[in-house]
């Protein structure tokens, strides 16, 4: 039985099991460190979900569309009873609540939340791909993820502690714990 069909079976039977998931957080508008902190609180308040740990905040230059402010990024580890699609829907709602507007691809944003990993699930369906399809190319994802979960595994690719060495993290600056960025 595939992990997707097991997940569907648990949902139908009303006994969703707890899954460890990882969410990337990013912002470069309207006080990015504060946006990230508020988003972490929103993650902790999701139904059937517990915020287990989050990484430090990191400042890094934009990629893709370069004419914009630097980003502040982090990664959160959560335990959740939400299925991957349900979790994604909640993440999109949190983005909207934070004023996220999707007008320029890879452009400035108040908040960006990406579902990176959801247990050992490998899933490809419209609007949802897990593991996140570009996570292995992004230092701003792998560096904070390696900080909190070096032994996490990307299905079919390996351990985060090994994968982080494949990205250029030279532009990443870890922000002080009490600093405002």
Please return the burial class of 11, using the count of CB atoms within 10 Å of its CB with bins 0-12, 13-18 and 19+: middle
50 is catalytic: no
CA distance 48 to 44: 9
- Cα dihedral 164, 167, 171, 172, rounded to 10, equals -20
Catalytic residue among 100, 134, 159, 162: 100
Catalytic residue among 59, 77, 112, 138: 112
Catalytic residue among 85, 114, 138, 162: 114
CA distance 47 to 67: 37
100 is catalytic: yes
Instruction: Find where tokens 């959801």 sit.
Output: 118
30 is catalytic: no
112 is catalytic: yes
Catalytic residue among 37, 59, 77, 109: 109
Q: Which residues are catalytic?
A: 100, 109, 112, 114
């Amino acid at each position: 039985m595939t992990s997707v069909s097991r997940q569907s079976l648990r949902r139908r039977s009303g006994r969703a099991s707890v899954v460890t998931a990882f969410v990337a957080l990013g912002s470069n508008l309207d006080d990015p460190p504060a946006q990230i902190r508020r988003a972490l609180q929103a993650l902790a308040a999701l139904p059937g979900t517990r915020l287990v740990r989050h990484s430090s905040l990191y400042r890094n230059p934009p990629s893709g569309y370069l004419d914009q402010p630097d980003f502040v990024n982090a990664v959160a580890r959560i335990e959740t009873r939400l299925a991957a699609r349900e979790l994604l829907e909640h993440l999109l709602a949190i983005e909207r609540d934070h004023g996220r507007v999707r007008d320029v691809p890879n452009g400035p944003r108040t908040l960006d939340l990406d579902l990176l990993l959801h247990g050992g699930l490998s899933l490809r369906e419209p609007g949802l791909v897990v593991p996140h399809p570009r996570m292995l190319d992004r230092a701003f994802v792998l560096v904070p993820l390696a900080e909190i979960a070096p032994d996490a595994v990307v299905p079919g690719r390996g351990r985060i502690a090994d994968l982080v060495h494949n990205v250029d993290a030279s532009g990443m600056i870890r922000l002080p714990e009490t600093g405002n960025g």
